[in-house]
Amino acid sequence: MSDRPVHVLFLCTHNSARSILAEATLNHIGNGRFKAFSAGSSPRANQQPNPLGLKVLQSAGIRTDGLRSKSWDGFALPGAPHMDLVITVCDNAAGEQCPYWPGQPATAHWGYADPSAVEGTDDQRLEAFRQTLHAIRRRLELLVNLPPDSLEGLSLQRAARAMAQSEQVA
């Protein structure tokens, strides 16, 4: 692999919760070996990251500046960063027709329940985001600890897909 970091794109439908949590967390723990991005298949007009997600990230000591909801279309355009790995983090995005990703990156699906869909008290909703962040971080720690020779092409795809199978998240 080159000296550039491994580029990882996290996809979800609205790009407001799970994909944002994953992007911020990987950029936090990736030690410069990884550069994370996130996007959505259909972010709503004026979509912003979920405030509870931002609060949970900040409470975990993870920076939130620069996080924003955006369409995945921008990552298929000429001049967009070349992705090495594309991971869907919600079942809706996993079933959608994705754009063509230049360079044929490795792909995987890591499904997580939508914490923004949880109803209840503010504390219950915040706890749903904490649990989702914890589950995402567990898988991302496995990813960042892969040996360098596992971070290319089919090896990366096999490893990322195995992580989804080894730790099913409710």
**Residue ranges per structural domain of the chain:** 6-155
* 19: nearest Cα among 116, 98, 104, 95: 116
What CATH class has 6-155? alpha beta
Q: What's the CA gap between 162 and 170, in Å, rounded?
A: 17
- Residue 83's pLDDT band, with cuts at 50, 70 and 90, is very high
Q: Span 148-159, mean pLDDT?
A: 83
In sequence order, what are the residues at sequence separation of 6 or more whose Cβ sits closer than 8 angstroms to the Cβ of residue 8?
Answer: 26, 34, 35, 36, 37, 83, 84, 85, 86, 87, 143
Q: Would you state the pLDDT for residue 93? A: 53
Count Cβ atoms below 10 Å from residue 66 Cβ, excluding itself: 8
pLDDT tens for 6-65 read 999 999 988 999 999 999 999 999 999 999 999 998 877 777 999 999 999 999 999 999
- pLDDT higher than 50, residue 169: no
> What is the three-class DSSP state of 85?
strand
Q: Would you state the pLDDT for residue 139? A: 96
Contact indicator for 113, 170 with CB cutoff of 8 Å: yes
- Residue 170's pLDDT band, with cuts at 50, 70 and 90, is very low
pLDDT tens for 59-81 read 999 999 999 999 988 888 888 89
